[in-house]
Structure 1
Amino acid sequence: MLFPFAQVHAQFVPPKGISAAQLALVINDEEANSVELGEYYRKAHGIPAANIVHVQIANRPRKLAAEEFEALKTKIDAKLGADVQAVLMLWTAPYAVECNSITAAYTLGLDSALCAKSCAPSKPSAYYNAASTRPYSELKMRLSMLLPTENVGASKALIDRVVASANPPPAASAYFLQTSDVARSSRARFFPRSMTVPQHNLTVKTLQADSIEQVSDIMIYQTGLSSVAKLNTLKFLPGALADHLTSFGGDLLGEGQMSSLRWLEAGATASYGTVSEPCNHWQKFPNSTVLLSQYLRGASAIEAYWKSVAWPAQGLFIGDPLAAPYRR
């Protein structure tokens, strides 16, 4: 059941969500960018030294075999305390395990059976639209996200934006675009209606359009196209979430459809995309009403994004997990 959007009101006190003390960093010692960004992230967010895990992944493969992934996961898990609720992997590749994303394989377990028919429904997530604020303690799910390391300067700027997003956001807008691409607009049925949410200084704008341009107040931007135009004309606010419904947004280094990396490069704080052909099941992509409602309730980026996807096996969550601009 979806949260009724109208229930997001000024009197609602959001529960405390995942904090820096509950987040582990996984650093690839074989990659200099991972090591540098891991240390930068640790200092910026105050991650406890006990929550730092070092692994060795050579040659930056885009996809891991099941056996390679299980060995990696075992090594990570062996070093985590019981209070760690989420994990941030600091690298761009690997980002897939067989036909699963690496973030979903880590959090939910690898679903190899899905690879025989990747358009089939995948296993539902117990965390979908859940009230839980301690997913590992309550559901045995350690949420995971990946912070890309292709551009160290850009990733440091992203981290700095998240530190800034701890302050109350200025006037902001959430944009939901039903595009001319009917197949990729399958989740448009869940777009909230256009409205203002005065207690959060937020305006919801649900449009029939293929793009927006020259906009400088973006907190959420969701659309459905294989490639999104005019990103270079936009300004994303600290903590902004943005994604596009298409088959291979999570193929970060692929050259077919637009990579989800483009959202972070444009200034968004977190994004989502699938690594293998999911077809256009809305359940395999972030549900707009759930994402917006959870974020306004004070959830962090990793919590809001994970709670918004019903079948996340193929979906890659990227960005900074600790952004929580509406947590007061």
Structure 2
Amino acid sequence: MSPELPLALLPPFARSHCHGRHLRYRRRDPTEGVLVFLGRCRDEALASVLAKRGPMPLLEAAIDLVRRRTEFFKDEAAVGEVVKAVTAAKEKFDAEERLKKRAADEAQKNRLQEEVAAAAKAEEKKNVRKPNSGNGLDFDTYSWTQTLQEVTVNIPVPQGTRSRFVTCEIKKTHLKVGLKGQPPIIDGDFYQSVKTEDCFWSIEDGNFISVLLTKQNKTNWWKCMVQGEPEIDLQKVQPESSKLSELDSETRQVVEKMMFDQRQKARGLPTSDEIQKQDMLKQFMAQTHTGMQIATDTHQKATVYEHELF
């Protein structure tokens, strides 16, 4: 059993913080006595001494205590053990600093990513416009409108323009249209693919080209007609309620769901998907509560049965 170290042998600064408790050290390994000494004295005491006298006086006081009260330094390897302890502490400190730096770098990286994402979102929001009355957009050289099934593009041309003066190529994912001998008015990829066999163009009133595009996916609104152009705010799309009865059941459900979600968001209420998730969570919690109640009742019955047996 390790002998006790009387308080009278402790330095005054440590004696006042040990509250009458004796400290132990082992003669077989004096370094353990130092560790016990440092571990038993409160962190507040050590921090107070460290703040008043600095790191080296604290270490010197601990080493001097070992020199005066133990035979530690009679061992030729004593200095090496002290150096080993200091080296281990330095390595631990360096490892902690590397972890701190790594955490700081990761935090800075995350902040930069958040800033980039916020900037991109702000730029995207800046590029989002309110749709025209046909749920599309109007530009200087053309305009477009849409329903869930089709997209109509109108391109003004000089009065009296004939079809033979027009060049129009409609591909599954690309549209190129303009007047022969001139740069194309539209030349870009669609927001989504179209059914080329159900698309066509014509000259209307001799002063504009009308291009009718049939959507491949008839359950989505297009944010833009050609990729890269300004997008519309889909939250402000206004389906024509009077034509809902003309839609097939699947498309009608999609439109009604979208209209419901728009009304809910405008009122600050949950959308249909959020309501569904809330209902699923309530069902899960109810099932979990029922299962816990059954388990509790079973446990109580087993306890009563065990009590009756013994």
User: Is TM (by shorter chain) over 0.5?
Assistant: no
Q: Which has the larger radius of gyration?
A: 2
Bigger proportion of residues as helix: 2
Bigger share in strand = 1
- The TM-score range, normalised by the shorter chain, is under 0.3
Task: Calculate the TM-score normalised by the size of structure 2.
Answer: 0.19
TM-score (norm 1): 0.18
